[in-house]
Chains A and B, each alone.
Chain A
Amino acid sequence: MTTTDAARVRAPLPAPASSRRRLAAWPLRESVVPILLAIEVLSFSLLSKQFLTLSNIDNVILNSVDLALIAAGLTLVIVLGGIDVSTGQALGVVAWCVGRLTLAGWPPLLVIVTAAGLGALMGTVNGIIISRLQVTAIIATLGTAGIWSTVLFALWGGSDLFAPPVTTYASIQRTFGLPTVAFFVLAAFAVLWFVSRYRAYGRHVYAIGNDAEGARLSGINVVRTGIISYAIVGLLVGLAAVVFMARVGVIQASSGGSLSLAAIAAVVVGGTSITGGRGSVVGTLWGVLFIAVLQNGVVLAGVPPLWNGVLVGAFIVIAVAVDVTTDRISAARRRGR
């Protein structure tokens, strides 16, 4: 009994890449997005001369760093089998506070720490409602999305808040000709990748996403892991708010709201399974690039900006449909062996 239980728990954990079966399934799934991205870059560079210029690449990166930070955290939550549709609204609230504190003359480092702390606190609220009180993630975060957007509306109070960037690191600083902030974001991805792959917490996230009951039986603290994951998303949302404020410079009543769905799109386009247990932050990085390039290239190619949503929506569905279908094919392949 104990041995079969243990085997069942251990089995769904991603096997090392040396396994032949995994090698057989690998190229199909994980290379879909990079290939799509390459096709995308190629076609846009044919459609527009400005597309492959350094200033445009700079532009694409700077416009997607906040999205990248949110999506990185969101990957953990989705691997866990959850979802968070309140990230954009939470970002709006934190960004407003960031603007206010900057105007009040707080030192940059303190503003950033406060933003991260506030974000983590909001994430923890989600985590407690979802993991401790057992409210389905989509329902809980739909609810908090409504609450955060109302909080921002109350803070905003009828007048737009203009504020300078917290630090030039988040806006005009360049390293090797690219925005400095991009390197911080890459570092965040590297840390998350390492933690999710080589630390106990990260393995717990995958275990819970595959089989929550099995994970619980094998001694993993499911509730704590869940709360930590939502807190991490919140923390990254807080950092993203700093970048957002530096990029946009003004906070309005509905600021940030559209990022909620864009972040989910980036994660699922990047190949993370919405049903949990499978995916990685590396895939999400591809997903973010794919969506950022799409939104930029479409404008350069002369398509009216209104079409943006149509394309993003179509690509969410197409990417996941491709993912689900390749998954079924490789499952059939495995059975055939």
Chain B
Amino acid sequence: MSTIAARPHRISYRLLSDRRAFLIALIAATGVVMSLLSPYFLHTDNLLNMTQFGAVVGLLALGQTLVILGGGGGIDISVGSTLSLCGVVMGVAVRHNVNVWVAALMTLVLGLVLGATNGVLITVVKVPALITTLGTLYLFGSGAEVIAGDTQITGFDRAGFSFLGHGVIAGIPTQVLLVLIPVYVGTAWIIGRGTYGRRVYETGNNDHALRLAGGSPSLVRFSLYCVSGLLAALGAVVTNSWLLIARANAGADFTLDSITIAVLGGTSIFGGRGRVSGTFLAVMLIVVLNSGLQLAGVAQSYQTGILGAVLIVSVLLNQLVTRRSGQRP
């Protein structure tokens, strides 16, 4: 095995073989190109704006990474709709004079429940993840529309709630410093060190072996969908605090984004392989790319196409690397 892996010595290969080194190089290159293209790129306002967008998409991408890591065809297409529904429900609660922070807590519970719904359907009823989350994509998304009823819900600017989305501590946006980074560090710690993390990788790699060893792949997968729902709800809270409005289509674009980021970060779509740090770097890359394109005057809709191409190319890249290093694709 090691002799096969050691064979290619070219720098390009070594860059590719550790996804994180590759991503850092890409982020640097994109950053340089963008700052040459637009003088505003390195402007503080722009950097702030960039990271505020990144906080929401980063939370969803983390949930997506975990679900895909769990293997067995795991995927959560419903993350965007979960965010929409949670955001709208929180808006309705706030409109009925519930304290904003209490409403935020309720929203997190709702996200957990929505994730658990996916989890039960997938692990207990055994409906394939793709179909379950496709169904709940419809269900949650339309649910959000029914509740919001074609209007935007406002009134979040109470009890200092907007601080979460607009505040800055030591030059870093609050939602990044107090939400995104702690969540990523915590998840990386749990997934990288603890027993639970090992279970997740075992589930993704070889669920049969885990079952024989007395573990429960279903339980692990169920918990991953719960976490994905919870993170989407957290994304909804952050979005509401950032935009100060809740819309029924707030999360519509996030499904493609989150899957692209997870795969770009080196997570194998078949599960069992991937890292939280890789996803984090992929979030950074997408955020830099998005904001650069925006400054260069490329419309949002064109970014969808570029993201689609990035998704396919990054999977091809994953395969190139696994094939070169002699691993099973």
Please report the total number of B residues contacting A with Cβ < 8 Å.
43
A131 sits at the interface (CB 8 A): no
- Give the distance in Å from the alpha carbon of A316 to the alpha carbon of B260 in the complex: 25
Whether A316 lies near B131 (C-beta < 8 A) is: yes
Segment at the interface with B among A136-144, A174-182, A184-192, A216-224 = A136-144
A161 sits at the interface (CB 8 A): no
B291 sits at the interface (CB 8 A): no
Given contacts A153-B301, A268-B131, contact A321 B125 (CB under 8 A): yes
Whether B145 lies near A309 (C-beta < 8 A) is: yes
* Partner pick for A138 among B130, B142, B299, CB 8 A cutoff: B130
Whether B75 lies near A129 (C-beta < 8 A) is: no
Q: Which residues of B contact A328 (CB under 8 A)?
A: 126
Taking CB as reference atom, which chain B residue is nearest A313?
A: B138
Given contacts A275-B128, A306-B142, contact A261 B134 (CB under 8 A): yes
B182 sits at the interface (CB 8 A): no
Would you give the shortest CB distance from B258 to chain A, in whole angstroms? 11
User: Which B255-294 residues have C-beta < 8 A from chain A?
Assistant: 256, 259-260, 263, 269-270
Whether A324 lies near B125 (C-beta < 8 A) is: yes
* Partner pick for A274 among B130, B145, B263, CB 8 A cutoff: B130
Q: Which residues of A contact B229 (CB under 8 A)?
A: none
Taking CB as reference atom, which chain B residue is nearest A134?
A: B319
User: Which A279-325 residues have C-beta < 8 A from chain B?
Assistant: 304, 306-310, 312-314, 316-317, 320-321, 324-325
Taking CB as reference atom, which chain B residue is nearest A146?
A: B308
Whether A146 lies near B305 (C-beta < 8 A) is: yes
Whether B127 lies near A321 (C-beta < 8 A) is: yes
Given contacts A147-B305, A150-B304, A153-B301, contact A317 B132 (CB under 8 A): yes
Whether B142 lies near A310 (C-beta < 8 A) is: yes
Whether B312 lies near A144 (C-beta < 8 A) is: yes
- Give the distance in Å from the alpha carbon of A153 to the alpha carbon of B302 in the complex: 8
Whether B302 lies near A154 (C-beta < 8 A) is: yes
Q: Which residues of A contact B125 (CB under 8 A)?
A: 321, 324-325
B91 sits at the interface (CB 8 A): no
Task: Given contact pairs A309-B142, A328-B126, enumerate 12 new A-B contacts (beta carbons under 8 Å).
Answer: A134-B319, A138-B269, A139-B263, A143-B311, A146-B304, A150-B301, A150-B305, A261-B134, A264-B134, A309-B145, A313-B138, A325-B125
